[in-house]
Amino acid sequence: MLKKLYVLYLVVFFGISIAAFVIGNYGIHDQKSHIYLLPDGYTGWVEIRYEQEGSPPLPREGKEYVNLIPRTGILNTPDSPTSGEMKFYYLDEQGNRKRIELDMIRAQAMKSKYVLTSNGTKEELSVNVFFVGTEQQWNDERSRN
């Protein structure tokens, strides 16, 4: 009897372990990656505004969303926010990419933000914001605010 319980325990344990691995692995592979292409040498705040009607959707490279950030630092997209890996690059005028090291990315956050519309009402936006710059630039930015 004890042997049967032990075998049953092992079968259940391995079944749960395999199910957890499959579910966890599926969740990781289902996440979308994001490529952020910033104008060459850009420093300052970047803001991606999601669910903005009339804006072009984010292009894709395979499974990766491409966020082409304009010089203003604000990108509007009709897409909904998604989680996933983030890769940052400077994009020069010839279309070449240069990796931006993670120590240049600061204060990254997904949040809600209220903005005034043209008719004077407030609209709640889902935004992804981050600052691009050296530690000194970041400290200077924080001292201004």
Q: What is the mean pLDDT of residues 25-47?
A: 83
Task: Report the pLDDT value the prediction gives residue 30, as an integer from 0 to 100.
Answer: 59
* Residue that wins the pLDDT comparison between 1 and 29: 1
User: Confidence band (pLDDT; 50, 70, 90) for 26?
Assistant: very low
Bridge partners (DSSP) listed for residue 48: 75, 128
Q: Which residues of 91-110 are buried (b: 16+ CB within 10 A; e: fewer)?
A: beeeeeeeebeeebbbeeee
Task: Report the pLDDT value the prediction gives residue 8, as an integer from 0 to 100.
Answer: 53
CA distances from 14 to 1, 22, 28, 112, 121 (A): 20, 12, 21, 42, 57
* Residue that wins the pLDDT comparison between 25 and 36: 36
Least confident of 35-39, 119-123, 137-141: 119-123
Gap between the Cα atoms of 50 and 34, Å rounded: 14
pLDDT tens, residue by residue, 73-125: 999 999 999 989 999 999 999 999 999 999 999 999 999 999 888 888 998 99
Task: Report the pLDDT value the prediction gives residue 62, as an integer from 0 to 100.
Answer: 92
Q: What is the mean pLDDT of the chain?
A: 86
